[in-house]
Amino acid sequence: MKTYISLWPAYAPQLPFPRSLAILGSTGSIGVNALSVVAQHPDLFRVAALGGGKNAARLAEQAKLFRPGLLAVLNEATAHELRGLLPAGYAPEILVGPAAYETVAAMPEADLVLSAIVGAAGFLPTLAAAKAGKRIALANKESLVLGGRLIRAACQASGAVILPVDSEHNALFQALCGHNGDEEVARLILTASGGPFRGKDAAFLASVTPAQALNHPNWSMGAKISVDSATLMNKGLEVIEACHLYGLPVARVDVLVHPQSIVHSLVEYVDGSQLAHLGVPDMRIPIAHCLCYPRRVNLDMPRLNLASAGSLTFEAPDETLFPCLGLAKAAFAASHSHPVALNAANEVAVELFLQGRIKFLDIPRLIEAALSRHAALPENCGADELIDADALTRRETLAAAFD
């Protein structure tokens, strides 16, 4: 991989206020937090479009409040329910089906696209936004895991720019500002809370339930990312995300467990300095940073008080007990398509675990098996081939789960 630190490209245009937003995944945890930032600053934003999945009730509530002209949902049943919930006199266009999100991502009326669908379903909409030259606030890390090379190429061709919503990558973005140049950066250090099972042993992990895995100690998030945090796969996906965003090899991206989730990541420079970003664990901070960049806006929320926060502690991750982190790094090193198999197997395994059909420790087992089955795709393959590989891994992982 070409080594460079991609910060804020010189071609990035100024974006005046009020900014026109398209929010994909508006009914999820990130989407709800983003709309709460918008509600705090109604003068700074117009909501042009909202994309939900199947939660018609929540999308209808959001639409009533923000009045976008365009809505997108996953299927006809949700669209039907949604139409019944919208008030008389308000008739937005409603697009239906997976391709609808790509239309929203590329719509001319939106300057800024928040990509916050969960999982691989976010890839094509993110790619569409990149091709359309949008400013992209990226929460959907799986997009970069699947097709980071294609998304970066699309951004370079169209002038699209990506601002990272993920708190760790947003922290890195801020700690890298003013230091544009690979020769100054020694390594990136992603912090990890360690999740709900930090310090437990294999016997404990063998019998943990979905409810325990969903009970994250510091962050309130959607179900899939909560389980990913419990297995440390979230950190593995984030290592790949950081490599794509900042163009560094995986050997220069380290992970440090920090149970208090106050230090959101660090950049180590060649002179030995480490610059960190600190704040309370609340996604509205990185979301607002991305939506308003480079402006900073007031956020009505509790502030970090280091005197009352007490000790900040750090430790190395346990990659033996939590092998998903190592599997992700190995997948990224293996080929540019192994991360597709990693991600697809993980999504299937997490869903089966949440349904109570497999055990927690089956998750890394199924991912490892998928990686060993995967045959690397050619470097120059397109989105269709990546999506075919994703679908094949899903079928094989489902079959392997019940062998």
Ligand X SMILES: NC(=O)c1ccc[n+]([C@@H]2O[C@H](COP(=O)([O-])OP(=O)(O)OC[C@H]3O[C@@H](n4cnc5c(N)ncnc54)[C@H](OP(=O)(O)O)[C@@H]3O)[C@@H](O)[C@H]2O)c1
74 binds ligand X (CB under 6 A): yes
218 binds ligand X (CB under 6 A): no
190 binds ligand X (CB under 6 A): no
3-class SS letters over 29-55: HHHHHHHHHHHHCCCCEEEEEEECCCC
From the list 29, 174, 231, 397, which residue makes contact with ligand X (rule: CB under 6 A)?
Answer: 29
117 binds ligand X (CB under 6 A): yes
Q: How far apart are CA 15 and CA 369, in angstroms?
A: 46
Q: What is the DSSP letter of 293?
A: T
Binding mask 118-157 for ligand X (x = CB under 6 A): x--x-----------------xxxx---------------
User: From the CB of 53, what's the least distance to ligand X, in Å?
Assistant: 2
Contact residues for 173 (Cβ-Cβ < 8 A; gap 6+): 7, 163, 164, 245
Task: State phi, psi for 270 to the nearest 5 degrees.
Answer: -65, -20
Nearest to 121 by CA among 25, 27, 225, 48: 25
Within 13 Å, how many C-alpha atoms sit on residue 246's CB side?
Answer: 36
Task: State phi, psi for 337 to the nearest 5 degrees.
Answer: -105, -10
The single residue listed with the structure tokens 């699209």 is 160
User: From the CB of 28, what's the least distance to ligand X, in Å?
Assistant: 2
Report 77-96 residues binding ligand X (CB under 6 A).
Answer: none
Number of chain positions touching ligand X (CB under 6 A): 29
User: From the CB of 85, what's the least distance to ligand X, in Å?
Assistant: 13
The single residue listed with the structure tokens 């660090």 is 266
From the list 5, 22, 23, 30, which residue makes contact with ligand X (rule: CB under 6 A)?
Answer: 30
User: Which two three-digit tokens encode residue 56?
Assistant: 């018609």
Contact residues for 116 (Cβ-Cβ < 8 A; gap 6+): 23, 24, 25, 26, 28, 30, 31, 34, 122, 139, 140, 165
In the complex with ligand X, the residue whose CB is nearer, 220 or 273, is 220
From the list 6, 21, 27, 232, which residue makes contact with ligand X (rule: CB under 6 A)?
Answer: 27
User: From the CB of 184, what's the least distance to ligand X, in Å?
Assistant: 27
The single residue listed with the structure tokens 């071609």 is 11
324 binds ligand X (CB under 6 A): no
In the complex with ligand X, the residue whose CB is nearer, 65 or 251, is 65
225 binds ligand X (CB under 6 A): yes
Q: What is the DSSP letter of 121?
A: G
User: Which two three-digit tokens encode residue 398?
Assistant: 């489902």
User: From the CB of 148, what's the least distance to ligand X, in Å?
Assistant: 14
Residue nearest ligand X by beta-carbon distance: 28
110 binds ligand X (CB under 6 A): no
Report 265-294 residues binding ligand X (CB under 6 A).
Answer: 283
Give the interface segment with ligand X, choosing from 49-57, 61-69, 241-249, 330-338 (CB under 6 A): 49-57
166 binds ligand X (CB under 6 A): yes
Q: How far apart are CA 19 and CA 40, in angstroms?
A: 14
Contact residues for 306 (Cβ-Cβ < 8 A; gap 6+): 262, 278
Binding stretches for ligand X (CB under 6 A): 25-31, 52-55, 74, 101, 116-118, 121, 139-142, 166, 219, 221-225, 283
